[in-house]
Structure 1
Amino acid sequence: MKRFIGFIKKEFYHIFRDTRSLFILFGMPIAQVMLFGFAITNEINNVNIAVFDKSKDATTQEIINKITASTYFSNQQFITNEAEIESVFKKGNIKAVLVFEKDFSEKLTKENKATVQIITDATDPNTANTVNNYVSSILQKYQQETNKNIKPVYQITPESRMVYNAELKSVFMFVPGVMTIILMLVSAMMTSISITREKELGTMEILLVSPIKPFQVIIGKVVPYIFLSVINAIVIVLLSIFIFGIPVQGSLFLLGIQSVLFIINALSLGILISTISKTQQTAMMISLMGLMLPVILLSGFIFPISSMPVPLQIISHVIPAKWFIIILKGIMLKGVGITILWKETLILVAMTVFFIVLSIKKYKIRLE
């Protein structure tokens, strides 16, 4: 037992002496959370639009003022003919052009109908779709305010309500995903080079002839990173709550237990990579390239899994990050407990045990 504790202490000393490792462990996660939280968003703000007003009456001016008064849009210029529409789009600064038809106010009064054409730059489809929805929403609101006393014989008014994220803040989607990616990549990457480092430094031979058993070596390599990764998780949760205002509706204790489980899962996966890699460079490449793309693309972090082809949906089941993101969103945003999340928890436990057993087996092969 004393040898095992000494081995763990050695791992701690090695980590704290390596400033680059400390930067990767603590500096990168904070920087990534702040970057994803503030920079990456599917919301729009201050989008530049142009207006082609063929009518130039009081009604069109009122609508234009309402649109540009919102924080979503900034009216950059007025154009005077249709030929200018293509030119303003080609310059790249304008993302949408609003075209008000001639005699807009008169048609609205006499015919109860007038047209506003919304032309968007669809080189960025998501932005184009969002701009179109926002403008349509503002126009619909204006129409409701103007026609309060006009009630058609038959009228169906849909009412929508967004639950768990009423303001549709994209940070509510990104931060749980970023937390998952950081814990997975940093934990797996740091442990993936742990055993390969021993080989390159020439200390592997000492471990091979030492009385420390393979499972003790594996656990000894994992324990220091569990402690450091838990600190990372706490920092990320605190940033999420106090910087981005993400609520934690569920149990903080359950959130902590699930985070530790996922950290152990990621660390065990990193150890597995470490046992099958001959050099630190190989281990680093496998942990970065082999984990980053599947975690980002197949975990449901950015793209909905239900929209993927069936083969990719099947592959996503073996991505631990997918189950942890479900757990995070369930606890933080929905406030659900273990009675709802038991299946995802059991899957992570099974994966963790599998990675650890396989790592010990691979390590034993190297002892022979």
Structure 2
Amino acid sequence: MKFRVIKGIILKDLKELRGEKMALFWIFIFPLMWITLFGTMWGGESPPITVDVGVVYTNESAPFTAYDIVKIMRNVTLEETNLFNVLEFKDESSALEALKSGKIDAVVVFPKGFGTNLTSGRQARVYLYFDKSDPQDYQIVSGVVKGFFGEMEKEMRRRRIEMQLEYMELYLPKWVIAEYNLTTEMIREYMLASAEPIVVEEKEVEGKTATPIQFYVTSFIGIQFLFATML
């Protein structure tokens, strides 16, 4: 009996609804338009971006210089897309002018003596310039550039540790190794831990995405709620 009453009410409302074209639009057509709009905006995967980077450096005779880093930047790819489009500038002022005019996205300046400091065990500085007028672009561009140099720094740190271990194996007294029961692998682990105490690894998880029907139902409920609050 109760089911018949509910069915009768539903059929009655649907018959009345057929004459209300605007109501039909907001209840059925508008959610479909909503799905199409957001599907167009966020439905597909965005391809990797290429950052236009201006670089300024001087030629040096050190074993590893800014030239080598710039060469690496030119060849870094993500999903077969070059991460950087590198443009060389003669001086810092011309590079900054190009950044201000929007011709490039960032400027990387390697000061004089960069390669010498880097290969002699001293700190080597790099100056990064970004245009912060668009916060979203700034976050993307700075994230890519800083991420690159962060990975470069990690790799250089590992190589330095390997070089130090080679010297230790040659010159560290054997009695010290025997007395403290040390091995090369143990020393390597301690040195890596001191240089990089926390290692963060990113793991990929494929989350559940809403189906078109679920999205439609959600939109439908939202529209119904909107009309209910207007009454």
TM-score by length of 2: 0.61
Q: Please, which of 78, 82, 87 is the counterpart of residue 92 of structure 2?
A: 82
* Closer/same/farther in 2, CA of residues 108 and 76 from structure 1, 3 Å limit: closer
2-side partners of 1:157 and 1:67: how far apart? 27
The residue that corresponds to 2:15 in the other structure is 10
1:338 maps to none
What value does the CA root-mean-square deviation take over the aligned residues?
A: 4.0
2:65 is paired with a residue of what secondary structure? Answer: helix
Matched, 1:121 2:131: yes
1:159 equivalent among 199, 216, 230? 199
Partners of 1:52 and 1:98 within 8 A in 2: yes
User: 1:1-368 maps to which residues of 2 (within 5 A)?
Assistant: 1=5, 4-10=9-15, 13-14=18-19, 22-38=28-44, 45-55=49-59, 59-68=65-74, 69-71=76-78, 73-151=83-161, 154-162=194-202, 166=204, 232-234=212-214, 236=215, 264=221, 266-275=222-231
**2:51 and 2:105 in contact (8 A); partners too:** yes
Relative to 1, partners in 2 of residues 1:131 and 1:146: Cα closer, same or farther, differing over 3 Å?
same
Shift in CA distance, 162/110, structure 1 to aligned 2, threshold 3 Å = closer
3-state SS in 2 of match to 1:271: helix
| CA distance in 2: counterparts of 1:26 and 1:268, whole angstroms | 14
Deviations 1:285-342 (CA, angstroms, capped at 9, x unpaired): xxxxxxxxxxxxxxxxxxxxxxxxxxxxxxxxxxxxxxxxxxxxxxxxxxxxxxxxxx
Distance (whole Å) between structure 2 residues aligned to residue 56 and residue 47 of structure 1 = 26
Tell me the distance in 2 between the aligned counterparts of 1:113 and 1:49: 23
Matched AA of 1:107: N
Q: Please tell me whether Structure 1 or Structure 2 has the larger radius of gyration of its CA atoms.
A: 2
Q: Distance in 2 between matches of 1:7 and 1:136?
A: 63
2:65–2:116: 8 Å Cα contact kept in structure 1?
Answer: no
- Superimposed CA distance per residue, residues 103-139 of structure 1 (whole angstroms, 9 cap, x where no aligned partner): 3222211243212111111112343244333323322
Task: Give the letter aligned to residue 58 of structure 2.
Answer: K
Q: Distance in 2 between matches of 1:137 and 1:34?
A: 29
Partner Cα distance (2:31, 2:159) in 1: 62
| Cα offsets for 1:204-251 (capped at 9, x unmatched) | xxxxxxxxxxxxxxxxxxxxxxxxxxx9543x49xxxxxxxxxxxxxx
CA contact (8 A) 1:54 1:102 kept: yes
Q: Which amino acid aligns with 1:108?
A: L
Deviations 1:15-52 (A, max 9, x none): 7898855542313322222213459x8x9721222111
Percent sequence identity is: 16
Q: Which amino acid is the alignment partner of residue 271 of structure 1?
A: F
Distance 1:54 1:96 in 2: 18
- Once the 2 structures are TM-superposed, how far is the Cα of residue 80 of structure 1 from its aligned partner? 0.9
**Structure number having the greater helix percentage:** 1
| Per-residue CA distance 1:242-285 (angstroms, 9 max, x = gap) | xxxxxxxxxxxxxxxxx76x954x3452232331xxxxxxxxxx
Whether the 8 Å CA contact 2:100–2:131 is kept in 1: the answer is no
Partner Cα distance (1:115, 1:146) in 2:
14
Instruction: Note the C-alpha offset of 1:12.
Output: 5.7
Query: Partner of 2:228: helix, strand, or coil?
Result: helix
- Mark the CA change 1:32 to 1:142 in structure 2 (over 3 Å): closer, same or farther: same
- Specify the code of the residue in structure 2 equivalent to 1:270: L
Give 5+ residue unaligned stretches, structure 1: 180-230, 238-258, 276-368
Distance 1:44 1:60, change over 3 A: same
Q: Aligned AA for 1:60?
A: A
